[in-house]
Amino acid sequence: MSTSKTIKVTAHAKVNLTLHVVGQRANGYHELQSLVCLTEFGDQIHLSPAADFSFQVIGPYAAGIPLDESNLVVQAAKFMAHKHSKSLDCQIILEKNLPMASGIGGGSSDAAAVLKALSQYWSVPLPNLDELMALGADIPVCMTTGLTLMEGAGEDVTQLSTAPNWGLILVNPNVGVSTPAVFNALNSKQNPPMQDVAENCVDIAWLGDQRNDLEPPAMTMVPEVAAVVDEISEIPQCQVSRMSGSGATCFGLFTDIKHANAAAERLQQAHENWWVVATKMV
C-alpha cells in the first residue's frame, strides 16, 4: 500500500578508509579489499506520490546530472517497479550535496536510497545481493552501517563493527577524477591485503598503516589530490589523512566531531574553492 506522504532518505557519502587492490579477474574486474564507512552527510532523496513518474535534481551539485536512464536513480526506481509489478506512481527529487565523480559513492548511494525509499513507499522487500550487484558493484556496501569490509568486486560485504564515535572531514578540491583512468594507471594489480581487519578496524593507529592503492596514480594524474592529503595531514589533531575511492575526495580522521569541525573551518577559510564538510559515521 503506497503512503500518501513524502519519504525522505539520506544517501550517505561512502568513504573508503582503506582500499587495497589485491588482484584482477579475467573479466577485468579488480579484486578489492576495503574498509568502508558511511557518513551522516550525503545527498537526500525526496519521494512523494504522483500520478506519473518524474525525476529531478536540485542542490549545489545538480548541474550536469543526467535525468535519463543513464542515472542509477532512474535505473533503481524502474528495477523496483518491475521487480514488484508496480507502476512508478511517484516523483523523485534528488538533492545533490556531494560532488560528482568524487570517490564517495554518490551515484551508488543515491540508488541505494531510492531502493530504501520505494521499499518503504510500497511496503515491499529490498532487492537481494545479486540484484544489487547487477545494478552496481558499490550498491551493496551503500546499504550498510558501521565499519564494513568490502571484498571481491563489491559483492562480499561483512559488517565488522558499529560506527566508532570519530569525527571526519571530507575535502574535495572541486576536480573530478576518472575511475577507469586511475585503475589503468595502477602499476601493480597484486598488492598485499590487510591483515586481521576485524580485530584492528577500530584502531586508528592500525588504520594509519593501511593504504589506498589508487592514491599514487590519482596524485600523479591530479596533483591537487596530493595537495589536499598533505594539507589535511598537517592539522595537528588529524589521525589519518587519505584519499577515498578513486578520488578526488580525501578524508581526515579525528578522535571526535569537535576536532573535525575545527579542522573543516580552518580548511574552508584557507581554501574557499574547496568543498569541505565535517561529519560523523552512521
Active site residues: 14, 138
What whole-number distance in Å separates Cα of residue 103 and Cα of residue 98? 10
What whole-number distance in Å separates Cα of residue 277 and Cα of residue 282? 15
What whole-number distance in Å separates Cα of residue 58 and Cα of residue 64? 11
b/e 21-58 (16+ beta carbons within 10 angstroms → b): bbeeeeeeebbbbbbbbbbebbbbbbbbeeeeeebebe
Eight-state DSSP code of residue 163: P
What whole-number distance in Å separates Cα of residue 13 and Cα of residue 38? 6
Sequence-distant (≥ 6) Cβ neighbours of residue 72 within 8 angstroms: 107, 108, 110, 111, 135, 136
Residue length of the chain: 282
Report which secondary-structure segment, H or E, holds 134.
helix 129-135
CA of residue 128 relative to chain centroid, distance: 20
Contact 225, 177 (CB under 8 A): yes
